[in-house]
Structure 1
């Protein structure tokens, strides 16, 4: 799977003030894992998605994969494993 294929499969919901988001974005980039970033402060519908997968909370970073599954504040290892599972 190429970098661009993985980016199409992964959306990362963030805010501008989230330190955990900054750290995970940096780790994903170093690992060569592409993603689409959506700031929930600027996109109300994105905030609704985050709330739906986090029991009503706007917890970030929340990552949503191509199959609709989600991970909240995951490690880069967890993200990589989930992408590998989806590719299998």
Structure 2
């Protein structure tokens, strides 16, 4: 859990220090803008923008029942953030597994990617797809016609 918050915390601290430096040098506007940019970056890289993670075993059980995809991700991954943003509200329809919090999820990703923890890895009907196109994932979230 702590590992997931390291990058956002560093961004907030760094942005605050730089903003304080700018403010004390007489540039409060620049300091405020820079702090806002760092806060936005911290928010995007935090686990907060992702749906509540599920354990790998529970996600596999639920996916078997409802047929929805499982998305294996980790905080700070720009490709995971891109996928999450491009899916929009529909992202909540998938089962999300944070591989930094779930060793079973990390093992699934390593098995699918020749020992590498490459994310996002999306599993649909038992088949893994590494860094798939967000439009394709959105199609997988659609109910069958």
TM-score range, shorter chain: 0.7 to 0.9
Structure 2, unaligned stretches of length 5 or more? 1-62
Aligned residues: 79
Q: Residue in 2 aligned with 1:59? A: 118
1:40 equivalent in alignment to 2:99 = yes
Larger Rg: 2
- The two structures, once aligned, show a CA RMSD in angstroms of 2.3
Pairwise mapping of residues 6-85 of structure 1 onto structure 2 (< 5 A)?
8=66, 9-29=68-88, 32=90, 34-65=93-124, 67-82=125-140
- Secondary structure of 2:97's match? strand
TM-score by length of 2: 0.47
Query: Higher strand fraction: Structure 1 or Structure 2?
Result: 1
Which one scores higher on RCO, CA 8 angstroms, separation ≥ 6?
A: 1
Structure 1, unaligned stretches of length 5 or more? 1-5
